[in-house]
Structure 1
């Protein structure tokens, strides 16, 4: 299972992986690039789901003997799109594949995949390449693209959010500034920020943005200029010091953990704010 934040990069690496399984020859390279390699089955869809029938076609193709190579390879792009029926259909095939058959499952949202699939996979994390990430972004400003790129945010999720990403980013920066300065109205800002979140993915994105912003403030505070996801001046003052910012980052990590345990998001973020006070 190739996990990452940019499907274009995962697709590129999966084809390179397949090429080296078949043999890194010019012929194999041309066949893969043209989508005509007889021993490679690449499943992708523009639909919202991958259905059981499509998995059935894949299984039928993979049960045939290889033609060009010693191995057969199938790649499923955005594996998280499989319906529950499709996942259950492919589970047995993953457990008992035909000889010399290799599956490469690509995902940018592994939390939507059955635990039984995860347990039968070898996981390889592949960070998106900068240009692939930037090319995939649709309507963001240059400053917003920089945030997504530097923090390696999930491009697919950002594109799905559309204008909400800009609104959420502004609220996160506003909240972070008030939190850093211990503003008495910070919990009100927190609620306004969370009201923009539709689901846990959005809440996890808030934590990624928060972590990135506070890290940038920390780098600025100690005189480093090597980490700049956000434009504009960073907060200053006698109440800002590295130990405080480090404690805030620890609380963001804890909040991420509690979210994964399905704790109520409002309680998670309230605990994060209160916990940072020590």
Structure 2
């Protein structure tokens, strides 16, 4: 499945609008892409740029994704597609000045130019005002795409001159379909879709060995708590803490642990339930038979409480050790 098809699964309304606009040559001069992280804003912006420069486009496939222009745009290497993103915490006035200087030149390979601004809400007031003229008096052949997860932080003078496009948050099913279409196994895709709504984050997980290692340690910890496995306190010290040092990773580790308990909860209520953690279905099914509903919900509450303590200054290893001992009833 190509990028156009993947995006159509993720954002059917958005893609219908843009496909029609490209085919009829009726694109506006500027758009404000707004929506939560992982909803396809960046990929749609790049696809839209590709659709304008593609050398092999057809009526149905507006951007082939394979020609020289599509490849260069995907790798951020096309001279007439300009990307602007925060330098540190913000998009600074000097960055906008450099962009304006580039835009004042004739197109390197055509009269069409595209500007994609990532995290547009992070423009300083000065940089936003400096760019305002290009929006008020757009040159022919210039397409401006502003991307943001926080439209309320965009200056009203900027917002009023752009056409808003809302990217809806992905449902579990739509994200699952998108991930499996990208070649990810359904077993892994179900886990990814349960812990994040971001395709970009999933890609990062896929490219890193960390996620697979983290998943294995989480399963090992569950088995240590409820079965005759390695002592969970030893697992925490030797395996868990080296992997989950940072608080954001610790939170993800607890979320992965919660998936096992939630699957067990659903299997307690319905033996025909298809768990998220399909590889552990037999083990969790057996646990659901020997554990009461109140025991499972109580253990879930303990994990949620531990997760909420991560924002405090509590020692994270001590937090995990206390959690395990509480689950084991010690």
TM-score (ref. length: structure 2): 0.53
Q: Distance in 2 between matches of 1:37 and 1:103?
A: 7
Q: Distance in 1 between matches of 2:225 and 2:147?
A: 43
1:225-274 per-residue CA deviation (whole Å, 9 max, x = no partner) reads 33411114124367522211111111121122112345432133223223
Q: Distance in 1 between matches of 2:249 and 2:166?
A: 21
Report how far residue 175 of structure 1 moved: 0.8
Q: Are the equivalent residues in 1 in contact too, given 2:176–2:190 (CA < 8 A)?
A: no
Residue 124 of structure 2 corresponds to residue 75 of structure 1: no
Q: Are the equivalent residues in 2 in contact too, given 1:148–1:155 (CA < 8 A)?
A: no
Q: Are the equivalent residues in 1 in contact too, given 2:10–2:170 (CA < 8 A)?
A: no
Q: Are the equivalent residues in 2 in contact too, given 1:76–1:105 (CA < 8 A)?
A: no
Which of 144, 154, 171 is residue 94 of structure 1 equivalent to?
154
Q: Distance in 2 between matches of 1:141 and 1:203?
A: 25
Structure 2 spans left out of the alignment, 5+ residues? 1-5, 34-40, 47-74, 77-83, 100-116, 118-127
Q: Distance in 2 between matches of 1:153 and 1:134?
A: 14
Q: Distance in 2 between matches of 1:12 and 1:169?
A: 26
Report how far residue 76 of structure 1 moved: 1.7
Counting matched residue pairs gives: 232
Partner in structure 2 of residue 267 of structure 1: 318
Q: Are the equivalent residues in 2 in contact too, given 1:176–1:210 (CA < 8 A)?
A: yes
Partner in structure 2 of residue 16 of structure 1: 14
Q: Are the equivalent residues in 2 in contact too, given 1:175–1:186 (CA < 8 A)?
A: yes
Q: Distance in 2 between matches of 1:225 and 1:266?
A: 37
TM-score (ref. length: structure 1): 0.61
1:254/1:141 CA distance change after superposition, 3 Å? same
Q: Distance in 2 between matches of 1:103 and 1:207?
A: 40
Report how far residue 174 of structure 1 moved: 1.5
Which of 129, 132, 151 is residue 178 of structure 2 equivalent to?
132
1:73/1:195 CA distance change after superposition, 3 Å? same
Cα RMSD, aligned residues only: 4.7
Residue 223 of structure 2 corresponds to residue 177 of structure 1: yes
Report how far residue 136 of structure 1 moved: 5.3
Structure 1 spans left out of the alignment, 5+ residues? 1-7, 81-89, 108-123
Report how far residue 193 of structure 1 moved: 2.3
